[in-house]
Structure 1
């Protein structure tokens, strides 16, 4: 079935899973680590809440872990696709997963 034949909510290549998991992201160009919360996750990307504004195009290495101690932790190289204010002095990032790190 092509994406034209799918309903609007089904046009993505991957289903989004709603999660609420702690995330840490290391910027590739410096040693700083940014903490945040992963809101949703799919095979191609994720939506993240953070207090730090990160410009689109920035490369990151992210780690998502479970509050419940489940393993394995997700490690991935990602790129910021978009960054917008959430209205509460924080930001919502759209991250594209570039590579899963084992």
Structure 2
């Protein structure tokens, strides 16, 4: 019996779905337009044009393009940050609860 190496992304506890959808991030009363890159049952990865800090709480809204489906609204916490060019960031968000 042989085993093939498993890619790290396949070792996750939760399957991530590639999304590439526009989202609204709400922080301290300000709304920031961003992009959701991927989504799982426990979190999401966001491309943000604005700087945030680990520990920031963000409300996330993803509208549905399908009339039969409601969008996603969640309270989240920033758990990791990767700085990007031009002052942008990739954010790892943990879903605290669905709204």
When normalised by structure 1's length, the TM-score is 0.81
Q: Deviations over 1:18-69 (max 9, x none)?
A: 0111110111xx2111110000000110000111010000011110124xx2
Partner of 1:9: 9
Between structures 1 and 2, the one with greater helix share: 2
* TM-score, length-scaled by structure 2: 0.83
Q: Is the Cα–Cα contact under 8 Å of residues 50 and 87 in structure 2 kept in the other structure?
A: no
Q: Is the 8 A contact 2:48 2:90 kept in 1?
A: yes
Q: Which runs of 5+ in 2 are unaligned?
A: none
How many residue pairs end up in the alignment?
A: 92
Q: Does 1:63 align with 2:61?
A: yes
**Contact persistence 2:51–2:87 (CA under 8 A):** no
CA distance in 2, matches of 1:9, 1:84: 17
Task: Report the equivalent of 1:38.
Answer: 36
Q: Report the secondary structure of 1:10's partner residue.
A: helix
Instruction: Specify the structure having the higher radius of gyration (Cα).
Output: 2
Superposed structure 1 runs of 4+ greater than 3 Å apart: 6-9
What is the RMSD of the two structures over their aligned residues, measured on CA atoms?
1.6
